[in-house]
Amino acid sequence: MAQPGDSGGSPHRDDTGGAQTPDVDELSVHRPRHASGMQHGLIPDILKSVTRSVSRRPSSVLWLVSLLVVLSLGISARFLSFKTDRSDLIDADSEFQQRWLAYTERFGDNSDVVVVVESKDTATIKQVLSDLGGQLELEPQLFDRVFYKFDPTILRKKGLQYLPADELTACLASLEEHEDVLSGRWDRAGLQSTTENLNKRLKATDAVVRGEALAQAEKLTSSLKDFVITGEFHSPWPLFISNSDQLGASSFEPVYQITESGEMGFLLTIPVEAGDDFQGSSQSIDRLRQLIADTQELYPGVQISLTGIPVLESDEMRRSQSDMTIASVISFLGVGVLLFIGFRGFRHPLLAMLMLLVGIAWSLGYATLFVGHLNILSVSFSAILVGLGIDFAIHYLAKYLELRHKGIELRPALLRTSWGVGTGIVTAAVTTALAFFCATFTSFLGVAELGIIAGGGILLCCVTTFVVLPALIALADRGVEPKKLPTQFQGAILRRITARYPWMVTLATISAILVIGACSFSYENGRIVPKVKYDANLLNLQARGVDSVTVQNRVFREAQGSLLYAVSQTTGPQELLERKSAFEALPSVSRVEELASHFPQQPAHETEQLVRAIHAQLSHLSDFPREFPRLNPQAIGLALEDLFLSLRNIDDPAARSAGEALDVLLDKLETFPLQQQIGMLDGYQYAMLAALKGQFEALAAVSDPTPVSPLDFPRAVRERFISQDGTWLMRVFPKSQVWDEGPLREFVTEVRSVDPEVTGTPIQNFEAAAQIRESYLQAAIYALVVIWIVLLVDAVDSVPLVIGLVTPLSVIGLTVVLFPSPQKLLDPMEILGLYLVLATAATAIFDFTNVRNTFLTLLPPVGGSVLMFGILGLCGVDLNPANLIVLPLILGIGVDDGVHVIHDFRMQHGPYHTASSTTNAIMLTSLTSMIGFGSMLVAAHRGLASLGLVLVIGVGSCLFVSLVTLPAILTLISRRGSRKMTSRQSEHVSEPEDSEFAKGHEGLIVPYSSEPALRYQSLEGRPASEDGFQVG
């Protein structure tokens, strides 16, 4: 009779250096409790075959694996790109994203960096802005569209275009009256001619003419009197433009970006991004901070600060990178210590890490081939693989070491490990991967791409578990005796409590879960509301005391200077101005910025010809004559006397005032000698003609008829508000801080009531937050369906499974046939839910026991989630965009735990006792995740800290349910089942309490296991193979 290890033939050598016994292909295994076809079918056979081949040639396998790693990393280094823009997370086919992309294509997708200059002295602020702005303009490779003042000087020469048509008409009429003067007849505007002309006009029959003449006479007499008496001159000429101040030089002086209080100024610039990596605009921001520091030294009494969306993002990136570096060190040390304690050594944990690195390297190649890039969300896939991929290795090593300590040799132990826990590992990997793949059905591109990469990565880590890890073990443990291998953590006390007091443990833990879970709700205003809310405010993720956040809040508080604004676009300035009025009427809008109001508001067809006519008149302006004929005092006197008589005959206050002034003037002139009179009058005439010429020249300076165009404005302003294709833009600023969801929703709703096509960062934040929540909800529902179906496939035999899954399809198909519009009765989610219920019910009719076990598999993720949200409610921790990403990870870990416990339960007979390897593996996988991510609790970045906290609480909750509640429930179930099967079990030899081999019987062994490592019962006369399976 053959003995154990007797091959019946000559042995041959393998890569391990030992003798290889022939393979035994036909294995007859005693079927464990409730084992499914999957447990004893294709998957176990495949895993055994793979492990047999790998363990036979481990060196060759590892060389091939290394080649694939190098190839994968080479492909990734060459072709894998990075998308750092948050808009890359959003599906480009979404309507709101298409509007955003159209906007960024026209105006660029970079936000402004804002330099804030604060001082009590407005002049100093202007000087600082000019100095710093000038330096930035010298470095266009780092700073684009530098804007700190609006200089409209170039617009002054086109000033007449800003006047209404009636005023231009009057101006042109006045110029026509001076046509002779413009052509060189300056004597027509001399004192004598002007006085005689006024006298004639005062006697005109037209009241309008008399009124204009009277006003000019009042100015002339007052001017002449002041000049004669005091020597002061002021122009006697009426203005060609009634409101000429708006055309003066002061109206076209540079306008600095300074608040009304004059104590805060702003400089805006767009940082130039360095390249296609996660550094973004950090180089520009670093240089700007250096320039600010240098400028600060020159102005010690001025406070210069930096804020803006790019600065907030850069500060967040730097803070998170710094925190992650510290957390990684803590995580590495903590996980290393934990694995050392769990496996009582470093060699096997090191093998697990090497396997994980291979999985991550392969995943990079997979991501390059199937996605082609990483975004700021999918870049976290490696953390997910570390959290889940290492679990497969831990379960494998725990089982392997348990078998080795039972005296099984290296290769048989590897085969039995793959057979014993392989199906559980595959089931856990497939369910978790499919759960991630379900994210591809969501509309949020960032989540979808993360699902594709993480799901594929998990499957690749599963492959490395059965390809790389056995090969590493075969080489590392070659020639090592079992007694020299480390003894792993047993968890004996916990296992003993759940086995001896299942009723007490079940009632106590379920009560605790329900009570703590209820703490996730509160009773407010007569209704139950959740305590754990979703905080979409991105500023709440930043570290406390970050300068850019503090400055942003101060700017908004003191100057209503929100960094976020909506963007509305039109095809022309008139439409934009009409829409601007509608925006300004909204309660949630603070102000609207645009460029259209700086263009002439009069229709061009009304003013263009008038401006051209004025410009043509002034283009003939002659030079001033070198000399004027000397005045005739007698003629001037007679003209003034006639004017005085005309004024005296007019019954009007203005006439009396002019007459009195003229009377005083004439009396004063009589007191001077003749030559002095002539000198005074000559001087006045020269001054009045010079004043008239000055008015002509000033008018000519603003009479350029070339239409005002966008090119007349500085580039830094123009490119912010007018695109190259002629699209006009306005920025709509909120009255409240729209980082919070409530004000944001109000603002978005109101601005959309004016312009449904509005876009901008607030709209992107609003839609993205809604899409993230909806995507995670959809992914959770899809994942639940997929996980449930996979678990049914794992648990139920093929015949009842097919009946259970196909029957509901017939019912739903019949519904589609009978009802022409079934979608009006149920939406797709409801149909999916209906199918799940019907499929489960149909399957349970044929195999209730395994359907029940499938429900119990979901107890860790479901019960753990209830417990987690209760603890979050008690601790006042909200969900946010940072910690939301770990929820799928918690779900995956919870499902994995449930799968391994249920597989352990299926492998046993009699009352259930949690296997030490299962306890150790689940404990280690959970604690490694908790320590790895829990290290983020030291982070100053509140987003990372909350991520670590939620994951520690979530994984800890799943761990509690997996190792306490679920084993106690399974123990109760197994005890009841044992009583029903006492007669059948009495035919077998009773098993010992521990996992030692049964002794005292000759013959060979057959596994049927109360441990997942398989307990053994001695049978007589049956040959066995090297892997310990009973030969049929």
Q: Structure tokens of 201?
A: 């006009």
State how far Cα 126 lies from the chain centre: 35
**pLDDT value of position 889:** 74
Q: What are the residues facing 680 on neighbouring strands?
A: none
Domain chopping of the chain, boundaries = 160-243+612-701, 562-602+710-764
Query: Which residues fall within 8 angstroms of residue 976, CB to CB, at 6 or more apart?
Result: none
What's the rounded Cα separation, in Å, for the pair 380 and 360?
Answer: 12
| Neighbouring C-beta atoms of residue 670, cutoff 10 Å | 9
Q: What are the residues facing 731 on neighbouring strands?
A: 567, 593
Cβ(711)–Cβ(158) under 8 Å? no
- Cα dihedral sign, 870-874-878-882: negative
Cα torsion at 742, 748, 751, 752 (round to 10°)?
Answer: -130
Instruction: Give the start-end residues of each E strand in 95-187.
Output: 113-118, 143-147, 149-150
What's the rounded Cα separation, in Å, for the pair 151 and 32?
Answer: 86
Query: Which residues fall within 8 angstroms of residue 53, CB to CB, at 6 or more apart?
Result: 61
Q: Which tens digit of pLDDT belongs to each residue from 16-67? A: 444 444 443 333 334 455 444 444 567 888 998 999 999 999 999 999 999 9
What spatial distance separates the first Cα and last Cα of the chain, rounded to whole Å? 15
| Neighbouring C-beta atoms of residue 130, cutoff 10 Å | 15
**pLDDT value of position 593:** 92
| Neighbouring C-beta atoms of residue 709, cutoff 10 Å | 11
302: left (phi over 0), alpha (psi -120 to 50) or beta: beta
Q: Which residue has the tokens 């003749």?
A: 674
Cβ(505)–Cβ(497) under 8 Å? yes
What's the rounded Cα separation, in Å, for the pair 709 and 93?
Answer: 35
3-state SS, 446-468, equals: HHHHHHHHHHHHHHHHHHHHHHH
Residue 388's closest CA among 928, 958, 854, 937? 928
Q: Structure tokens of 856?
A: 């119990």
What's the rounded Cα separation, in Å, for the pair 879 and 506?
Answer: 30
What's the rounded Cα separation, in Å, for the pair 337 and 327?
Answer: 15
Q: Which residue type occupies 700? A: A
Residues of the chain short of pLDDT 50, as ranges, are 1-13, 16-31, 34-39, 982-1032
Enumerate the H helices of 57-121 as residue ranges: 58-79, 95-107
Residue 787's closest CA among 673, 899, 935, 887? 899
Q: Which residue has the tokens 């660029």?
A: 108
Cα–Cα distances in Å, from 423 out to 343, 384, 435, 466, 1011? Answer: 23, 22, 18, 11, 15
What's the rounded Cα separation, in Å, for the pair 675 and 681?
Answer: 10
Count Cβ atoms within 10 A of the Cβ of residue 815 and give its class: 0-12 exposed, 13-18 middle, 19 or more buried.
Answer: middle
Q: Which residue has the tokens 């132990």?
A: 413
Residue 1025's closest CA among 45, 51, 2, 4? 4
What's the rounded Cα separation, in Å, for the pair 264 and 116?
Answer: 7
Cβ(534)–Cβ(773) under 8 Å? yes
State how far Cα 276 lies from the chain centre: 17
The conformation of residue 964, written as its DSSP 8-state character, comes to I
Cα torsion at 474, 475, 479, 481 (round to 10°)?
Answer: -60
The conformation of residue 725, written as its DSSP 8-state character, comes to T
**pLDDT value of position 84:** 66
657: left (phi over 0), alpha (psi -120 to 50) or beta: alpha
State how far Cα 284 lies from the chain centre: 21
Work out the widest C-alpha separation in the chain, in whole angstroms.
Answer: 158
What's the rounded Cα separation, in Å, for the pair 361 and 381?
Answer: 12
Q: Which tens digit of pLDDT belongs to each residue from 675-684? A: 888 888 889 9
Residue 869's closest CA among 435, 518, 511? 518
Cα–Cα distances in Å, from 553 out to 116, 269, 306, 478, 549? Answer: 12, 19, 12, 64, 6
The conformation of residue 512, written as its DSSP 8-state character, comes to H
Phi, psi of 233 (to 5 degrees): -115, 135
Coil, strand or helix: which one is 232? coil
Enumerate the H helices of 858-913 as residue ranges: 859-875, 887-906
- Cα dihedral sign, 268-274-276-278: negative
For strand 113-118 and strand 1016-1019, is the pairing parallel, antiparallel, or unpaired? unpaired
What's the rounded Cα separation, in Å, for the pair 212 and 202?
Answer: 9
Q: Break the chain down into helix, strand, coil percent, rounded to 5.
A: 65, 10, 25
Q: Which tens digit of pLDDT belongs to each residue from 147-161? A: 999 887 778 888 898
Q: Which residue has the tokens 């109206």?
A: 251
Q: Structure tokens of 293?
A: 């520091």
Phi, psi of 262 (to 5 degrees): 75, 15
**pLDDT value of position 663:** 87
State how far Cα 915 lies from the chain centre: 45
For strand 373-375 and strand 81-83, is the pairing parallel, antiparallel, or unpaired? parallel
What's the rounded Cα separation, in Å, for the pair 257 and 949?
Answer: 44
Cα–Cα distances in Å, from 154 out to 713, 889, 895? Answer: 8, 61, 70
H or E segment at 1018?
strand 1016-1019
127 HSE (CA, 13 A, CB side)? 11
**How large is the C-alpha radius of gyration of the chain?**
44
Q: What are the residues facing 304 on neighbouring strands?
A: 117
Cβ(932)–Cβ(338) under 8 Å? no
For strand 149-150 and strand 255-256, is the pairing parallel, antiparallel, or unpaired? antiparallel
Query: Which residues fall within 8 angstroms of residue 581, CB to CB, at 6 or more apart?
Result: none
**pLDDT value of position 488:** 61
The CATH number of 562-602+710-764 is 3.30.70
CA 885-890-893 angle, 5° bins? 135
